[in-house]
């Protein structure tokens, strides 16, 4: 009986140790992610990205479709331009031009008026870095937390927080 108990304890310890040995840190998951999207060396060569496509908005009056362009430039500048023709809905053409210079954001909106981008939307823009917010998050003072795994379809996927920059202290 004692031999069986000893073997059981040893088996539990070995299984527990092996699961700890295979556990991954946030840094390891981030490195695997960066490798999977081309590697640090290839990502370092990218200076900008332009995405051009079509956006479709569902409205009570029917779908409205128009062009969208999203330009991102190293290290953290962005512009998104959307043009829609809402004439069928009685509103005419609208143009939304969202810009971010790395520090400040501004929205040029022909329908709702021009305005600065503030709050959480601005914080998300500041935390996003081209080509990936994960490349130099530590140097920028950000932190990432590995929160575990979740199922995505039939596969396990790691869940982490977005890189979080330290909050600036309020000005006196």
The pLDDT of residue 39: 93
pLDDT in tens, 3-14: 544 444 444 444
Which parts of the chain have pLDDT scores under 70? 1-23, 161-172
Name the CA radius of gyration of the chain, rounded. Answer: 24
Contacts of 109 (CB under 8 A, 6+ apart): 94, 95, 96, 97, 115
Tokens read off for 105: 């954001």
- Alpha carbon dihedral 31, 70, 98, 82, in 10-degree steps, equals -150
- Enter the tokens of residue 121: 């939307």
User: What are the structural domain ranges in the chain?
Assistant: 46-130, 132-172
């Amino acid at each position: 009986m004692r031999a069986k108990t000893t073997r059981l304890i040893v088996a539990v310890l070995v299984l527990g140790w092996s699961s700890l040995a295979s556990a991954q840190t946030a840094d390891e998951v981030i490195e695997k992610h960066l490798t999977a999207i081309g590697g640090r060396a290839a990502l370092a060569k990218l200076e900008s990205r332009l995405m051009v496509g079509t956006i479709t908005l569902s409205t009570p009056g029917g779908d409205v479709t128009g062009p969208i362009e999203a330009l991102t430039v190293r290290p953290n500048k962005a512009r998104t331009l959307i043009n829609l023709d809402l004439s069928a809905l009685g509103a005419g053409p609208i143009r939304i031009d969202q810009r971010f210079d790395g520090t400040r954001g501004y929205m040029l909106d022909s329908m709702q008026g021009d305005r600065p981008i503030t709050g959480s939307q601005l914080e998300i823009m500041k935390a996003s870095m081209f080509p990936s917010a994960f490349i130099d998050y530590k140097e920028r003072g950000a932190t990432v937390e590995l929160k575990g795994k979740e199922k995505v379809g039939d596969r396990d996927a790691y869940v982490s927080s977005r890189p979080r920059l330290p909050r600036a202290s309020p000005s006196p």
